[in-house]
Amino acid sequence: MGENEPIEVEVNEVYESGITGAELHRNAERYFGEQLPCQRDGRCSYMEKRDFVPENYDVLIGHYLQAHNDDYLEDRYVAFDEFPGDAYFFEPRHNEATRAITNYLEAEQDLPFDTWKRLYYHRGDSEYEDEVEAWKSDLGFYSHKDTRYILQRKPGFHANAPLLTHAALEFDLLDNDWEYATLGSGRRAVRSSEDEWTILNPPPIHRAKSVVALDGTPTVTKWRLILGGDWINHEEVLDTPEEKRHYLEEILGLTIIQTTADSKPYHSGDYVNVDSDGALLESIHEKEGTRSAVITSKAAEELYSASGVDNHIGISEHYNNLIGSNQFKGVQLGSVIGSPHPPEDEAVQRWAALDGESVERQEYEDGTTKRGTYLDFGPFGNALFQDVVHNEILQAVMRFGRTPGKDEPGATVYVHTFWLPDWVIPEKQLQVKTWSDGMNEVVTALQESEKWPSGEWTNKEIAESISIGVRQVSKLMQELDEEGYVAHRRGGRGNAYHWSNIRLDDFSEFGKVEDVSELSRT
């Protein structure tokens, strides 16, 4: 660190290396050569808040990560409210894992390797077997306290380096080129072919008297992985599709309206259809008289802001920020737009790899990959995909209207993706149609015409001022007529159409929405 850099920069760097906040405060002089600013005039408020005796409290409420503290679990009844997601994952940034391993090996004398590559390519050599096994037997529990202080003073140190090194020694190759390792005490590690690492480090829930995990749409395989054991007993409260539908419609009072038959994978932002989403939200705004709250991907939120779609949105949140959130509990009008399906099947393949299984997209007989609504990962992979996509979308839907008002029966939620669980039957099926470039060109020409707003236009006059021909103009004007935006009369040479404005001031910016419920039932 340079002399002029604030200590906050150093603190952040050491914290990101895996040293806990409490450890930084307790041993600040060892890490930074001085006390932290927050400790110079007395005890840090952060440390003061940590300084309590758990036994003095009957009930503790905390974050998922606090389950790693033995004192908070010891001899207690523990409840997990909702699936913790990736709370117990350590995911090194690109090259961070291999760099940490190399830095560790340069100072670790008990392993016969000095770089990540030498370890990886020679880990199975018989000449090193005894030394490797001796090192593994003396590991401890991989906390920073188990890592020698000499290593902590070394640039590039990472507190998880011993754990990463152990994973590198244990990796087995799966059929889809992911690597998998079990590391004891429920811990697991996986590595993709793109060198993306995930370390799963479950909390020590064996310290608790009993554990209850609450989840409206559980995938038991993932719960068993995240809590580090096969001891979970799964008890369904609602056993049948009919009971589940009754709960959604009668108990929660939800009205679900599905608005597309497309999968709409929105995680990366590459497939976000701003015009279609804008048309839906604009239509909801006009019909309901208020702006819809929205749950979508973070990438979609950013595109909505750039395109003006957010003018039709009340509040919004992205999928990755929903765990534990109650911000929509009093919201009676919501939209869930796009699916949270990650790119390159990352989430499905990662969770499968953590369970030691290889999954890949299935193919048709001609060798082409199944996509969209025909996406198929095989039986095990499909169960995980349902959790990653179907169940997460339903969980998003159920966040609306949890605490309805006195006269409010429950929320109305528009779902703009195909991926709902099969047992959910929407109240309505809508279809969103976006305007073509030609339509937008026609309407702009009319609104900028000298005759606007009370004159009349023929198809020929309109075509002369834009880039499309008379025949296409005629079709587009008839569509506007059917939508009630314009009216027509026939007369003059050739009994031509003469168009007049009715409500083009209200022309929707992005498109229109049609009710296709009856069509979907036939």
453 contacts: CB under 8 Å, gap ≥ 6: 447, 501, 504, 505
pLDDT tens for each residue of 36-76: 999 888 889 888 888 889 999 999 999 999 999 999 999 99
Residue 107, pLDDT score: 80
Q: For residue 106, what are the domain limits? A: 89-200
- Which of residues 520 and 454 earns the better pLDDT score? 454
| SS3 call for 141 | coil
Rounded to whole angstroms, how far apart are CA atoms 484 and 23?
Answer: 69
DSSP 363: B
DSSP-based three-state secondary structure for 114: coil
Copy the structure tokens of residue 344. 């390159």
Tell me if 215 is assigned to some domain: no
Tokens representing 385?
Answer: 């995909």
Among 31-35, 181-185, 421-425, 504-508, the range scoring the smallest mean pLDDT is 31-35
The dihedrals phi and psi of 487, each to the nearest 5 degrees, come to -125, 170
Q: Is residue 485 part of a domain?
A: yes
Q: Same domain for 497 and 417?
A: no
Residue 446: how many CB atoms within 10 A of its CB?
Answer: 26
Domain final residue, candidates 432, 467, 499: 432
CATH number for the domain spanning 493: value is 1.10.10.10
- On whether residue 103 sits in a domain, the answer given is yes
197 neighbors 164 (Cβ within 8 angstroms): yes
pLDDT in tens, 397-424: 999 998 765 666 789 999 999 889 989 9
426 and 441 in a single domain? The answer is: no
What phi, psi does 316 have (nearest 5°)?
A: -140, 160
Angstrom distance (rounded) from CA 200 to CA 229: 12
Predicted pLDDT of residue 144? 44
Over 50: is that where the pLDDT of 468 sits? Answer: yes
Residues 309 and 291 in one domain: yes
Q: Are residues 391 and 444 in the same domain?
A: no
Name the helix (H) or strand (E) containing 182.
strand 179-184
pLDDT at 462: 95
Establish if 79 belongs to a structural domain: no
Number of domain units in the chain: 4
DSSP letter for 53, please.
Answer: -
Residue 97 confidence (pLDDT) above 50 = yes
pLDDT range class, residue 22, cuts 50, 70, 90: confident
The H or E element containing residue 255 is strand 255-258
Residue 1 has pLDDT above 50, yes or no: no
309, HSE (Cβ side, Cα atoms, 13 Å): 27
pLDDT in tens, 362-390: 888 888 888 777 888 888 888 888 877 88
Q: Specify the higher pLDDT residue, 79 or 326.
A: 79
Do 355 and 376 lie in a common domain?
Answer: yes
Show which of 432, 449, 475 is a domain's final residue. 432
Over residues 185-203, the mean pLDDT reads: 93
417 and 298 within one domain: yes
Specify whether the CB–CB gap between 412 and 336 falls below 8 A. no
What number of CA atoms fall less than 13 Å from residue 389's CA on the CB side?
Answer: 31
On whether both 102 and 38 belong to a single domain, the answer is no
| pLDDT value of position 470 | 95
Residue 146: pLDDT above 50?
A: no
Handedness of CA 88, 93, 98, 99 (dihedral sign): negative
Q: Considering only CA atoms, which of 68, 92, 344, 381 is closest in space to residue 222?
A: 381
Strand partners of residue 334? 293, 413
The two tokens of residue 520 are 């979907």
Q: Using a cut of 0.85, tell me whether the model's pTM lies above it.
A: no
Q: What is the pLDDT of residue 152?
A: 55
Beta strand 187-191 with 486-491 is unpaired
Give CA angle at 324 (410, 386), nearest 5°: 80
Mean pLDDT of 492-514: 90
379 & 245 share domain: yes
Dump pLDDT digits (tens) for 306-352.
999 999 999 999 988 887 778 998 899 999 999 886 654 678 899 99
Query: Which is more confidently placed, 91 or 346?
Result: 91
Predicted local distance difference test score (pLDDT) of residue 441: 95
The one-letter amino acid at 293: A
Per-residue pLDDT averaged across 452-457, rounded?
A: 94
Please give the helix or strand (H or E) that residue 49 lies within, else none: helix 45-50
Q: Is the pLDDT of residue 461 over 80?
A: yes
Could you give the C-alpha distances from 473 to 254, 311, 424, in angstroms and in order? 42, 30, 42
Instruction: Give residue 145's pLDDT band: very low, low, confident or very high (50, 70, 90).
Output: very low
On whether residue 210 sits in a domain, the answer given is: no
Domain assignment present for 220: no
Boundary residue ending a domain (387, 411, 432): 432
Residue 319 lies in a domain: yes
The alpha carbon of 389 is separated from its chain's Cα centroid by a whole number of angstroms, namely: 9
At what angle are helices 96-107 and 161-170 packed, to 10 degrees? Answer: 100
Helix or strand (DSSP H, E) at 16: helix 7-16
Q: Clarify whether residues 397 and 259 are in a common domain.
A: yes
pLDDT band at 153 (very low <50, low <70, confident <90, very high): low
Same domain, 111 and 159: yes
Is pLDDT above 60 for 142? no
Q: Are 150 and 110 found together in one domain?
A: yes
Alpha carbons 394 and 119: distance in angstroms, whole number: 45
Residue 424 is predicted with a pLDDT of 94
What is the Cβ-side half-sphere exposure of residue 128, based on CA atoms within 13 angstroms? 16
Please report, for residues 72, 325, 413, the alpha-carbon distance to residue 310 in angstroms, rounded to integers and kept in the order given.
43, 21, 17
* 221 closest CA partner among 88, 83, 329: 83
Cα–Cα distance, 345 to 62 (Å, whole number): 32
- d(Cα 345, Cα 361) in Å, to the nearest integer? 8
Mark residue 289 as left, alpha or beta (left: phi above 0; alpha: psi -120 to 50; beta: remaining).
left
Q: pLDDT at position 147, please?
A: 54
From the list 14, 10, 12, 19, the residue with the least C-alpha distance to 146 is 19
Lowest mean pLDDT among 4-8, 242-246, 501-505: 4-8
Residues 313, 285 contacting (CB under 8 angstroms): no
Q: Are residues 284 and 379 both part of a single domain? A: yes
| Helix (H) / strand (E) containing 303 | helix 298-307
Reply yes or no on whether the pLDDT at 127 is more than 60.
yes
E strands within 365-427?
Answer: 412-416
Residue 247 pLDDT greater than 60, yes or no: yes
Q: Which CATH number is 350's domain given?
A: 3.40.50
Asked, as a colleague might, if the bond just before 453 is cis with ω within 30 of 0, I would say: yes
The answer to whether residue 131 is domain-embedded is yes
